[in-house]
Amino acid sequence: MSDIEQTLSIIKPDAVERSLEKEIKEIFIKNGFSIIQEKKIQIEKNEAEKFYKVHETKPFYNDLCSYLSSGPIVVMILEKINAVKSNRELMGSTNPKDAKEGSIRKKYGISIDKNSVHGSDSIENAKLEIDFFFKD
């Protein structure tokens, strides 16, 4: 049985800054995702710290949180069959250098930190991340 899932996607500051929002959304649509909800926001650093709490012991945590809160981002709920895995594949590897041809990070990513998009890594985290941005 195939499951319709939802996942959280973020178009990160480096991509919004380069006006790639529309192009990246079109890639999602072309690949069968529906954008169920979306908003363009800028978050405070302390909110980025909550969002990325799983990485709090990593050496890149502080820079990562500064970066995510450095400019506008577009947060979206994407829906598709097997959305979580499908979005991870479409995004490509964390480091754009390792990302496969045709992936969003290969096409647009600048570096491992400025890699243009975020996507939930599990169904459980997708639910938590969707609630984080869209609850209320």
81 φψ region: left (φ > 0), alpha (ψ -120 to 50), beta (else): beta
When binding is defined by CB under 6 A, the residue of 23, 79, 113, 123 that contacts ligand UDP is 113
Q: Which tokens sit at 88?
A: 């991870």
User: Among all chains, which residue has been given the structure tokens 């809160």?
Assistant: 69
112 binds ligand UDP (CB under 6 A): yes
Q: Counting beta carbons within 10 angstroms of the beta carbon of residue 26, is it exposed (0 to 12), middle (13 to 18) or buried (19 or more)?
A: exposed
User: Is 55 annotated as catalytic?
Assistant: no
The reply on whether position 79 binds ligand UDP by CB under 6 A is no
What minimum distance in Å lies between the beta carbon of 95 and ligand UDP? 8
Residue placing its CB nearer to Mg ion in the complex, 21 or 121: 121
- Residue number with CB closer to Mg ion (10 or 74): 10
Does 80 contact ligand UDP by CB under 6 A? no
**Which structure tokens are listed for 102?**
């045709």
Beta strands (DSSP E) in 24-124 are 34-41, 73-81, 117-119
Q: Which stretch binds Mg ion (CB under 5 A): 36-44, 57-65, 84-92, 120-128?
A: 120-128
- Any contact of residue 94 with ligand UDP (CB under 6 A)? yes
- Catalytic residue numbers? 118
